Structure 1
Amino acid sequence: ASAGKKLGFPYMLKSRTMAYDGRGNFVVKDEESIPEALQFLRDRPLYAEKWAPFSKELAVMIVRSIDGRVFSYPTVETIHKDNICFLCHAPARVPDSVQLKAKLLAENAVKAFPGCGIFGVEMFYLETGELLINEIAPRPHNSGHYTIDACVTSQFEAHLRAILDLPMPKGFSSLSTSCTNAIMLNVLGEDVKNQELQTCERALETPGASVYLYGKESRPKRKLGP
């Protein structure tokens, strides 16, 4: 109840552990829903966040070298389905000024951390035009898989170059051409095991499309590859 008084309703109640793809989150709409939220997230360390009325979700992959230099990939727009990243539009369908603002915000955020390699920075684009970071993942990230085909260097190669102190060629994190546009679709497990392979078959029949499966066992809503 005190969180509601301080943050207002609705607010997000989150687990500090085992929380990803919407798991470990609960939207507390009013005081009456607090018992349900506590039951849903029972036996976990919790924290509350103020509700962010966003219009879009954006993400930027950042590469940090051993000597602390940072390089940014294009700002992309992510679309979620059942709290799981489902589509990724590169570049993001927002004004150029917002794309640049997101890249600078992501770069400055990663500069505040130790370490090197690839970082996935996710953020909310609010209705007011403000940007709020909601996650920083110190690893290759779902929102960066488009780089395999759409960029000069993939996020995976960039990660290896960074941690092995290899050269970072000029423009390595750019889109392949000035007119490159890409859409990444996450292959998610269906209720019927392996039914998602039909989506993969259709992709392989589509010019310019590629499929990269992780080799994981199919389960409903499990990420199986881009």
Structure 2
Amino acid sequence: MIPPGNTLGMLGGGQLGRMFTVAARTLGYRVLVLDPDPGSPAGRIADEHLHSAYGDAWALEQMAARCAVVTTEFENIPAQTLHTLAGLIPVRPGARALECTQDRGREKAMIQSLGLETAPFERVTHKEQIKAALAAVGTPAILKRAALGYDGKGQVGVASLAAAEAGFDHLGQVPCVLEQRLPLEREISVVLARGVGGETLCYPVAENIHRHGILHMSIVPARIDHATAQAACRAAIQLAEALEYCGVMAVEFFITTAGELRVNEIAPRPHNSGHYTLDACVTSQFEQQVRAICALPLGDTRLLSPVVMVNLLGDLWADGEPRWGALLEHPAAKLHLYGKSQARPGRKMGHFCVLGDDRDRIITEAETLFAALSGEVQHGS
């Protein structure tokens, strides 16, 4: 066990690192953040911030010498950085888990090897492979970068061979996966924690609604039956065990119009759809991350109230500061801003949660409050 008073290392200084830092310091730990951005949200509130490249030898020596354990806030930390640190101090989750999820093709193959279903897909590394891949997958399809894609970035819709070839050029002719676009009823996610000794706990399943490829709203409990929720949790635990995972992770799922459960992707870190846990669960996903990597007992994941979480993107700042009045006046709305100095379209600047006993009512309230932030008139949910 790593008790309070020790220093925890965080690779990455974004909002996930920031919320981890708040949880860690609340529990009495110090936090050392490594992020090349001198104004990173996590670095600005951590005890110490090394604004160096992730592969900087001096910075890694400092982390190894001063931290009891190191964790990550996003999956695209260079693999060599993880291996270097893992030879000196505990790194949780381990390099293997992150390496597996850094490549969509590798990740999907691992998922299928466990007997879990994904959308049909084919790897594409050269333009000459597109025709055969499209014949195997069919249309409509989505062409995605194998690495470094997120929030709808690094992917294009495909309805024909010409569109697939043009999309491959648009994505820079880097390795991709071509994935069948499934007819969906809804999308859900499971956030879970796995401890050093292999113990696992799942949070209540979130139902996710996206806009332009970016998560807009998470609804908890999800509007699905108990059997589907249980199946999603079992699959998420199976993936965590296969990765020998330690920490908090999320698994995103598709539910097709035929009622099939398909794994979409794995996020080896706390997840946007788990932000509701900050306000609506006994233990937040960020406190849980601290507990898991420090070999503490995992915290209670019970949902205390139905909740709706809404993302706040930089688009809301296009005409100046959002109109906070209605949101701040709502007695059961909780605002979280991430301390980012510059708002850009599509950039996650914060989120808010609305709690209440009636799930349908708080969905409507959340959409009304979101519309009010930009001065729009809300005409229903």
- Residue of structure 2 equivalent to 1:174: 302
Residue identity opposite 2:285 in structure 1? Q
Matches for 1:98-109 after TM superposition, within 5 Å: 98-109=228-239
> Please, which of 104, 120, 137 is the counterpart of residue 7 of structure 1?
137
1:68 deviation in Å?
1.1
**How do 1:102-181 residues align onto structure 2 when only pairs under 5 Å count?**
102-169=232-299, 172-176=300-304, 180-181=305-306
Q: Could you say which residue in structure 2 is the equivalent of 1:53?
A: 183
Q: Distance in 1 between matches of 2:270 and 2:319?
A: 25
Q: Report Cα offsets for 1:156-184 as digits up to 9, x if no partner.
A: 00110111011225xx01102xxx21000
Q: 1:204 — aligned with what?
A: 328
One-letter code aligned to 1:111:
E
Higher helix share: 2
- 1:184 is aligned, of 306, 309, 312, to 309
Deviations 1:16-67, CA, capped at 9 Å, x for gaps: 2221011111111112312321222124222212222221000010100001
Deviation at 1:6, TM superposition (A): 0.9
Distance 1:157 1:185 in 2: 21
Structure 1: give runs of 5+ residues left out of the alignment: none
The question of whether the paired residues in 1 share the 8 Å contact of 2:207 and 2:223 is answered with yes
1:72–1:103 CA contact under 8 A, matched in 2: yes
Q: Which residue of 1 aligns with 2:80?
A: none
Name the counterpart of 2:200.
70
Shifted more, 205-214 versus 184-193: the winner is: 184-193
Structure 1 residue 110, shift from structure 2 partner = 1.4
Shift of 1:98: 1.5
Identify if the C-alpha distance between structure 1 residues 31 and 192 changes in structure 2 by more than 3 Å, giving closer, same or farther. same
Q: What is the aligned-residue identity percentage? A: 39
Distance of aligned partners of 1:144 and 1:25 in 2 relative to their CA distance in 1, 3 Å threshold: same
User: Which range is displaced more, 129-138 or 148-157?
Assistant: 129-138
After superposition, the Cα gap between the structure-2 partners of 1:191 and 1:184, relative to the gap in structure 1 and judged at 3 Å, is closer
Q: Within 1, Cα distance between the matches of 2:336 and 2:208?
A: 19
Q: Quick one: distance in 1 between partners of 2:243 and 2:325?
A: 41
Q: Pick closer, same or farther for the CA change 1:191–1:209 going to 2, 3 Å.
A: closer
**Partner of residue 37, structure 1:** 167
Pick closer, same or farther for the CA change 1:28–1:116 going to 2, 3 Å: same
Q: What is the distance in 2 between the residues matched to 1:186 and 1:192?
A: 13
- Structure 2 residue runs without a partner (length 5+): 1-130, 352-381
**2:346 paired with 1:224:** no
Distance apart, 1:191 and its partner CA: 6.5
Q: Distance in 1 between matches of 2:207 and 2:319?
A: 28
CA RMSD of aligned residues (A): 1.6
Counterpart secondary structure, 1:121: strand
Out of 90, 101, 104, which is 2:220 matched to? 90
Runs (4+) of structure 1 exceeding 4 A deviation are none
Instruction: Point out which structure has higher relative CO (alpha carbons under 8 A, 6+ apart).
Output: 1
2:255 alignment partner AA: Y
Letter of the 1:34 counterpart: A
When structure 1 is superposed on structure 2, of 144-153 and 30-39 the one drifting more is: 30-39
Aligned length: 220
Change (3 A) 1:77 1:191: closer
Q: Give per-residue Cα distances to partners, 1:49-106, cap 9 Å, x unaligned.
A: 2222221000010100001111100011000011100000001011122222211121
Structure exhibiting the larger radius of gyration computed from Cα positions: 2
Is the partner of 2:135 in helix, strand or coil? helix
1:175 is matched by which residue type in structure 2?
A: L
Distance 1:196 1:163 in 2: 38
Q: Contact conserved, 2:316 with 2:322, CA < 8 A, in 1?
A: no
In the alignment, is the contact (CA less than 8 A) between 2:317 and 2:343 conserved in 1? no
| Structure 2 length-normalised TM | 0.55
Deviation at 1:208, TM superposition (A): 0.8
